[in-house]
Amino acid sequence: MAESDIFLSYARHDQSIARMFADSLVLEGFTVWWDASLRSGQTFDEVIEKELRDSKAVVVLWSTRSVASRWVRAEATLADRRNKLVPAMIEACDRPIIFELTHAADLCDWSGDTSDKAWKSFVLDLRRLVDADARTARPPDRRTGRQSSTDDPVSLDAEPVPAASPAAPRPVAGNGAGEQQSSELHCLEMEPGELIGDPVAINSSSLRIGRSAPAEVILPHKSVSREHCIIGLANDELFVTDLNSTNGTYIDGVRISRGTILPVGSILKVGEVSLRHAVRTDATVQPLSQFRPSGDQTFQAGRFATAS
């Protein structure tokens, strides 16, 4: 039997919630193993240990019951050692102290809605981790940002990469000995249209794009939802996930919903606003917090201004 994408760890009394997670993750395209999958005659502890070791990610559901479970603690510890732990809080509780410094998705109020923003972010983290090996085996062409086998936007179902913390600029070698190195930044450049502005650097694992705050990158256009999509940087790639926007998020004309790679040179269309993914040196673009759209020095950082 092929290895599962996800091993689901939970306390017995949380089985109904675990089933909701398992069913929803299957709908997202993952293969999920949890102990309800045990077949008659199988040795309980041996099967669990094998599935735990073979899975690509381990989702631990933390609750007041699971933190008291020796089984759940042991499964979380093994997953953490193998760098494949993806915990989620399903109830307010004090986690085992060893896991307090590990980020856990807050899904305490999640009721099964797969369009929920917290759920989408959780699924995006899982996709990056689950298909890390496949992504490492087939890196994209740096000139185009695409896989050689297709010109379509790359869904994380096929081509995801591992989750990453906010990345440092990537060094680029100079032309001569002793020449100071520069670095490259992934940016969104405004295409000609109703909005104008300087390029926005994407140097975080998660930035929201929307029409107004609390979005970090603000596009004041009527076609853009208040919180339209999430864009983030992982393993030197940009990823975009739609947040159930009204007018949709598109990459090179193809509408997306799940986390999808935005190749270098491709057009990200947010509602009716088009942005191009470009790579620039730090000499030609400033950090997001220092941006000012051209022609409007009073406009807030990270925003694009309406063209005059």
For residues 234-250, give the mean pLDDT: 86
pTM: 0.45
CA triplet 298, 224, 248: central angle to 5 degrees? Answer: 150
Q: Among candidates 119, 98, 124, which has minimal Cα distance to 256?
A: 124
**What does R_g of the chain's alpha carbons equal in angstroms?**
21
In this prediction, residue 283 carries a pLDDT of 52
In this structure, the number of other CB atoms found within 10 A of the CB of residue 267 comes to 14
The overall average pLDDT reported for the chain is 76
- Counting DSSP H helices and E strands in the chain, the numbers are 5, 20
The secondary structure of residue 292, as a DSSP letter, is: -
Distances (CA, A) of 77 to 68, 87, 95, 223: 14, 11, 12, 46
Dihedral (Cα; 121, 127, 128, 130), 10-degree rounding: 140
**Would residue 252 be called left, alpha or beta, if left means φ above 0 and alpha means ψ between -120 and 50 degrees?**
left
Q: How many residues does the chain have?
A: 308
Tokens linked to 19: 């089933």
pLDDT in tens, 69-106: 988 998 999 888 888 999 999 999 999 888 887 889 99
Task: State what percent of residues in the chain have pLDDT above 70.
Answer: 70
pLDDT band for 172, please (50, 70, 90 cuts). Answer: very low
For residues 235-243, give the mean pLDDT: 83
d(CA 42, CA 303) in angstroms, rounded, equals: 58
- Give me the residues paired with residue 262 across strands: 238
Evaluated on CA atoms 25, 28, 31, 36, the torsion sign reads positive
pLDDT in tens, 131-158: 774 444 444 443 344 443 434 444 433 3
d(CA 134, CA 191) in angstroms, rounded, equals: 33
Cis amide linkage into residue 214, ω under 30° from 0:
yes
d(CA 216, CA 208) in angstroms, rounded, equals: 5
**Structure-model confidence comparison of residues 60 and 169, the more confident one:** 60
Q: Among candidates 191, 162, 203, which has minimal Cα distance to 291?
A: 203
Provide CB contacts within 8 A for 10, sequence distance 6+: 17, 18, 21, 34, 60, 61, 63, 66, 72
